[in-house]
Structure 1
Amino acid sequence: MKLGFDKWVIIFTVTSAALLQMIDTSIVNVTLTQMMGNLGASLGDISWVVTGYAAANAVMITLSGWLSAKFGRRNYFAASIVLFTIASIFCGTATNVWELVFFRVIQGIGGGGLLTTAQSILIQTFPKEDLGMANAIYGLGVIIGPTIGPTLGGYITDNLSWNWVFFINIPFGILATVLTFLFIKEPAEKIPAGRMDWLALILLTAGIGGLQIVLEKGESEDWFETRYIVVMSVMAVVGIIGFIWRELAVDNPVVDLRLLRKRRFAVGTLFNFILGFGLFASVFIIPVYCQNLLGFTASQTGWLLMPGALMSGAMMPVVGTLLRKNYISPVWYSALGFLLFFIFCYQLSGLSLDTGADSFFWPLIIRGIGMGFIFIPLTTITVADLSNLEVPQGSALTNMVRQLGGTFGTAIITTYISTRSVFHQTILADNVTNYNPLSVERIRQYTALFVSRGNDLATATQKAYTLLKGAVTRQAMVMTYGDAMLIIGGFFLICLPLLLLFIGKKIKTQEHMEMSME
């Protein structure tokens, strides 16, 4: 069956909306320095631009299943796009940092409704035989978004101003809104929403919002040495435990946690956490390594990541076609993807200060192929046992978990880099002594260099030791980033056997034509 024009428009609409949301999770990261200068903000203040968006986004992703049922899938999707677009306008015209933070929270509220609702629209619109291809194209937004965000943000930072990272959303938001009202229809089956459970909403906001803030700000605030991090941690624990209790106790929960009783959905949700962990942590490490140690610009770093992102995009329809042919179980495609992701991490763990851009090309290509084999089969397996009425709630839960996985991954890797770099620096510094012939020779060479440039012997010697200290620090960071990539890759490798938990009743990725016509 060939996809008709209307369905292609639906795919384009939901993918564009998902792409906007995913790009905005990372696009501002490379513009923060420019924002600080233009708005007169400190590093601590400007970081709330990222944290506020992430916290609001996580809460709304979780609620999107209920809101979609309450107000109608199309209406909620369109309202989310409109709110996201309007907030983008106000973000771009903000005159101080706290005004920007406020509208980024509003933008996060709108963005939270895009990703999950887009996925449920596809699943409920397309028959089984076309769903693999639809999910493949939709996967472009989810996988490529976080990768091209730094590319786009770097280009805008180098050539325009930070305001345009928000203004660029406006034409796409308007187009997506118009197409939503013209082509997206409400499902035939009306999903019961029930009444809003305000206690559950408060517990959810406190739990997920608090956890997001702790993970985003904990490392920079020295974790539990800061009072508000302690308060947020307590709020997160109480909120999450209270929310789980509340949702299991009521008949019409805001988030149907009972779906986790279905083994495949529960395992799929776990693997979405792992996917988010690896995707965001690896995307975080590479730009930092390239810019801080290799001296790449934001634009250069972005273009470095582009081939891998394009490979992810190219693999989506290929994997979608393989799933449609139903040659082998999607579980084995996911296993191949996890193995390829480990190979990517292993290859990048051996980088050095002499590494050039060419050394990143094939590892990132392998990563792109791996992500293609992970995302679509994982989505197929996760929702395989859900009914149409359960899909919006299931999509909301898995997308929220994937985003939390990304936040956990970034926070854990950031903390690991901070502590591991001190370890490596201490080990290396122990070998830099006056009793080590190599150290003495390096100091002599540096001193001679500075003397040749007109410095007296005392000044030249002091600069030589400073230069050597800097070299030790850079080498320690290289070793630390290598260790971090091994940690991420090892995490994927260890989780491979868990894919066996998916084994069970055959997963149908294609229905017979006669059945789809009945």
Structure 2
Amino acid sequence: MSATPNKTGGLPPLSGTPLVLGTLALSLAVFMNVLDSSIANVSIPAISGDLGVSPQQGTWVITSFAVSNAISVPLTGWLTMRFGPVKLFVSSIILFIIASALCGLAPSIGILIAARVLQGAVAGPMIPLSQALLLASYPPAKSGMALAFWGMTTLVAPVAGPLLGGWISDNYTWPWIFYINIPIGLFAAWATWSIYKHREGKTVKLPIDKVGLGLLVIWVGSLQVMLDKGKELDWFNSGIVIALAVIAVVAFIYFVIWELGEKHPVVDLSLFAGRNFSGGVVAISVGYGLFFGSLVILPLWLQTQLGYTATEAGKVMAPVGVLAIIMSPIVGKMLPKVDARIVATMAFLIFAVVFFMRAQFNENVDFYTLMVPTVIQGAAMAMFFIPLTSIILSGQPSEKIPAAAGLSNFVRIMFGGMGTSIISTMWDDRSILHHAQLAEYTGAHNLAFTQAVNGLMARGMSQQEAWAVVERTMTVQASTLGATDIFWISGILFVVLIGFVWLTKPSKSAAPVDAGGAH
């Protein structure tokens, strides 16, 4: 990487064809990585059916990737210093290709899960190193544009994943959701090595923090399994969930104490001492958790309650990338001239408006009304990742950028998983509550209910059939009210998060300028 050499040896930023090709290669690697975190979601029924397991067991295909990926991301700093960023990045791509092939060839669920664990583990360094390599490729004045190009790939992939995964599963076979990584990865690895092999950074042989790594694996693994299995096991009414929670909390406490006293920690928690890093990480992580949670419950609500097909639900979600792609370069150009906190504040305000609009939905909502806030949300996404990444990395010395990017992405990934689990559980709980409240208005004592049942029976239904129709109507209404409760809460939280943005120090594109200058 040119980050360190550029400061000490004077390596210039890239230009012309190498810059274009390098940006494309790094972006494709990130796209492949982020795509794989979501592409399997809609393919779980096909995978579990083909391998002869239940859909619940099939979900481990998703969680195994998430757990190993989250654990490996914070190791980016140590691995970068040990092996060099360019070698590490290219090695991650090649190992990712191999793991993808193993996933597609897996004859059983056990082997598939093992391959997904490998895939998630080797994918960890890709995202933070892609940020660092991109910033090293651009001059300081254009480093905001570099983050804009990077941000576009992270915006499009989560939307493309479910659409592409569903289409492949319906028209081909599920292994192809993994095989498509092979040509993309081969090109990305070749192009990256061709351009960056002479810009490798210095390596330092540091001892690995084995205790810290072990504690990290224990608390992250326990927390993720608890969140994934909590709803299935009725949360804290289950001894298993309680045990996992205790293990996660105790291991986390020991992890923090150990890392703060370790000379060469596996995770550099001292980064949180910086106001920009801590405030930016809280804002981007909680915001991402709310956003990612909505990506789960909105299509679920459309499919399970309003009768939408997976393809139709995908069409509702797909437009989120349109404005994001269009506006990301604009935000990148604007960022060096504008306080990043102002741009991030606009993002949170737009997110809040989007969720307040969704809070007005009812069971009769039409396709156009569903799509409007989705389209608007694209603008918020374009102004969300880029300025907050800028704030998080601002003021960091070049040698700490990989560690800072790795740690911030680790926390963001963790909150994405936590947000999904918590929001799904809250939706269930709120739906049950609303159903119970609606049920209070049923029975012979309620004139409106009696008239509704008699009206249905007059159409030829039996009393049981009429009651079933009323019950289904209540279920849809309760689920809709539960979803709109979540949207209201999310909108309010996005407004609250603006406070964390303004806890950071004022600067105009501080991170890209400093990071670029450090290269």
TM-score, normalised relative to structure 2: 0.93
Rounded to whole Å, the distance in 1 between the matches of 2:152 and 2:48 is 32
Residue 478 of structure 2, aligned match among 461, 466, 476:
476
After TM superposition, list the pairs within 5 Å mapping 1:245-260 onto structure 2: 245-260=257-272
* Partner in structure 2 of residue 190 of structure 1: 202
1:45 CA drift (Å): 1.2
Rounded to whole Å, the distance in 2 between the matches of 1:86 and 1:219 is 34
After TM superposition, list the pairs within 5 Å mapping 1:393-412 onto structure 2: 393-412=403-422
1:379 CA drift (Å): 0.9
After TM superposition, list the pairs within 5 Å mapping 1:142-153 onto structure 2: 142-153=154-165
Rounded to whole Å, the distance in 2 between the matches of 1:477 and 1:186 is 57
> Is the 1:74–1:186 Cα contact (8 Å) retained in structure 2?
no
* Partner in structure 2 of residue 311 of structure 1: 323
Change (3 A) 1:207 1:106: same
**Which SS does the other structure have where 1:502 is aligned?**
coil
1:124 CA drift (Å): 3.0
Rounded to whole Å, the distance in 2 between the matches of 1:356 and 1:126 is 45
Residue 372 of structure 1, aligned match among 357, 366, 382:
382
> Is the 1:214–1:233 Cα contact (8 Å) retained in structure 2?
yes
Q: Which runs of 5+ in 1 are unaligned?
A: 452-459
1:510 CA drift (Å): 7.6
1:3 CA drift (Å): 4.6
**Which SS does the other structure have where 2:306 is aligned?**
coil
| Counterpart residue identity of residue 161, structure 1 | T
Which structure exhibits the higher relative contact order, with contacts defined as CA atoms closer than 8 Å and separated by 6 or more residues? 2
Rounded to whole Å, the distance in 2 between the matches of 1:333 and 1:193 is 40
Residue 447 of structure 2, aligned match among 437, 448, 454:
437
Rounded to whole Å, the distance in 1 between the matches of 2:99 and 2:124 is 13
**Which SS does the other structure have where 1:84 is aligned?**
helix
> Is the 2:86–2:200 Cα contact (8 Å) retained in structure 1?
no
Rounded to whole Å, the distance in 1 between the matches of 2:318 and 2:427 is 25
Deviations 1:351-373 (A, max 9, x none): 12222221122201211101111
Rounded to whole Å, the distance in 1 between the matches of 2:118 and 2:203 is 27
Deviations 1:363-400 (A, max 9, x none): 01211101111111111111111010110100010000
Rounded to whole Å, the distance in 2 between the matches of 1:409 and 1:378 is 19
| Counterpart residue identity of residue 289, structure 1 | W
| Counterpart residue identity of residue 337, structure 1 | A
| Counterpart residue identity of residue 482, structure 2 | T
Rounded to whole Å, the distance in 2 between the matches of 1:303 and 1:215 is 29
> Is the 1:84–1:107 Cα contact (8 Å) retained in structure 2?
yes
* Partner in structure 2 of residue 24 of structure 1: 36
> Is the 1:425–1:476 Cα contact (8 Å) retained in structure 2?
yes
| Counterpart residue identity of residue 385, structure 1 | G
* Partner in structure 1 of residue 7 of structure 2: none
Over the matched positions of the two proteins, sequence identity in percent amounts to 31
| Counterpart residue identity of residue 421, structure 1 | S
* Partner in structure 1 of residue 45 of structure 2: 33
1:341 aligns with 2:351: yes
Residue 291 of structure 2, aligned match among 279, 287, 307:
279
* Partner in structure 2 of residue 92 of structure 1: 104
Rounded to whole Å, the distance in 1 between the matches of 2:217 and 2:474 is 45
Rounded to whole Å, the distance in 2 between the matches of 1:449 and 1:64 is 66
1:77 aligns with 2:81: no
Q: Identify the range of structure 1 (442-451 vs 405-414) with the bigger mean alpha-carbon deviation.
A: 442-451
> Is the 1:290–1:296 Cα contact (8 Å) retained in structure 2?
yes
Rounded to whole Å, the distance in 1 between the matches of 2:374 and 2:206 is 46
Change (3 A) 1:294 1:76: same
**Which SS does the other structure have where 2:86 is aligned?**
helix
> Is the 2:393–2:512 Cα contact (8 Å) retained in structure 1?
no
| Counterpart residue identity of residue 171, structure 1 | P
> Is the 2:287–2:497 Cα contact (8 Å) retained in structure 1?
no
* Partner in structure 1 of residue 233 of structure 2: 221
Change (3 A) 1:509 1:228: closer
Rounded to whole Å, the distance in 1 between the matches of 2:66 and 2:443 is 46
Deviations 1:77-127 (A, max 9, x none): 112112221111121122222221111111111222211221121223322
* Partner in structure 2 of residue 102 of structure 1: 114
> Is the 1:352–1:478 Cα contact (8 Å) retained in structure 2?
yes
> Is the 1:136–1:376 Cα contact (8 Å) retained in structure 2?
yes
> Is the 1:156–1:165 Cα contact (8 Å) retained in structure 2?
yes
Rounded to whole Å, the distance in 2 between the matches of 1:349 and 1:161 is 38
**Which SS does the other structure have where 2:384 is aligned?**
helix
**Which SS does the other structure have where 1:498 is aligned?**
helix
* Alignment RMSD: 2.2
Residue 245 of structure 2, aligned match among 219, 233, 237:
233
* Partner in structure 2 of residue 465 of structure 1: 467
* Partner in structure 2 of residue 352 of structure 1: 362
> Is the 2:85–2:200 Cα contact (8 Å) retained in structure 1?
no
Rounded to whole Å, the distance in 2 between the matches of 1:256 and 1:186 is 28
| Counterpart residue identity of residue 372, structure 1 | A
1:269 CA drift (Å): 1.4
Change (3 A) 1:318 1:193: farther
* Partner in structure 1 of residue 8 of structure 2: none
Change (3 A) 1:123 1:232: farther
Deviations 1:224-251 (A, max 9, x none): 3333333322222222222222221122
1:64 aligns with 2:76: yes
Rounded to whole Å, the distance in 2 between the matches of 1:2 and 1:486 is 46
* Partner in structure 1 of residue 9 of structure 2: none
| Counterpart residue identity of residue 138, structure 1 | W
Rounded to whole Å, the distance in 1 between the matches of 2:282 and 2:79 is 24
Rounded to whole Å, the distance in 2 between the matches of 1:80 and 1:188 is 15
